[in-house]
Amino acid sequence: MDNSRNARGVSVLNSATLNKGTTFTFTQRERLGLRGLLPPKLEKVETQVKRAWEQLKTFDEDLNKYIFLENLHMQNERLFYRVLCEHLEALMPIVYTPTVGEACIKFDRIYRNRCGMYFGRVDSGVMRRMLDNWPEEDVEIIVVTDGGRVLGLGDLGTNGMAISVGKVSLYVAGAGFDPMRTMSVCLDLGTNNAALRENEFYLVRLLI
């Protein structure tokens, strides 16, 4: 069950779906226990978007832009989608093809935070119970990958999660889905990619 309605203080700021950063009004800051946890200025979301866009432009490599955006996604979902929608033409190649291909290849090395649901062979029989761990009950769209054939890059296994995340982002920005009612899923059915299996950062609990 989602207890986000009762969240206060740093729990609000640590929630991507609840956090609004400096756009929280002074009344909201008082009510939610945020007073003193944010800079005192009340900003418009347009200012936040402009700041994020200026920060994004400091990166030369597209993969670093992707990483910046996904970090923003995990910190402040409202701001992430506002930036994406206002700069959709420029950012589509970052959040999806072609940059998402490199993000999939390097997903295990650039991974920093949760971004979806993972199911593997070891979860057989308990997948329904695992779904109760998802913070939202009313999901309207689910994007699933097994990482087996990602953009012609071969079998990327669990690294394919980045493709599900990217598609969900575009469905929200381009088709108007509520981001809180989406789910990115990766099914780990194993991989024949020896390089991944031998990589210490590969995000799979191998069966022995």
- Token match 């799979």: residue? 204
Cα separation, 122 vs 49, whole angstroms: 42
**For 45-73, how does the pLDDT look when each residue is reduced to its tens digit (9 = 90+)?**
999 999 999 999 999 999 999 999 999 99
Indicate which residue of 20, 65, 66, 96 is catalytic. Answer: 96
Residue 1 reports pLDDT greater than 50 = no
Are the CB atoms for 184 and 161 separated by under 8 Å? yes
Residue pair 104/156 in contact by the 8 Å Cβ criterion = yes
Residue from 20, 65, 167, 202 carrying the catalytic annotation: 167
At residue 179, the 3 state secondary structure works out as: helix
State pLDDT tens for residues 81-121: 999 999 999 999 999 999 999 999 999 999 988 889 999 88
96 is catalytic: yes
Domain annotation for the chain: domains and CATH numbers: 1-43 (1.20.1370.30), 44-197 (3.40.50.10380)
Q: Look at residue 191 in the predicted model and tell me its pLDDT.
A: 87
Any alpha helices (H) in 4-119, and if so which ranges?
Answer: 10-13, 26-31, 45-56, 62-75, 77-86, 88-95, 99-105, 107-110
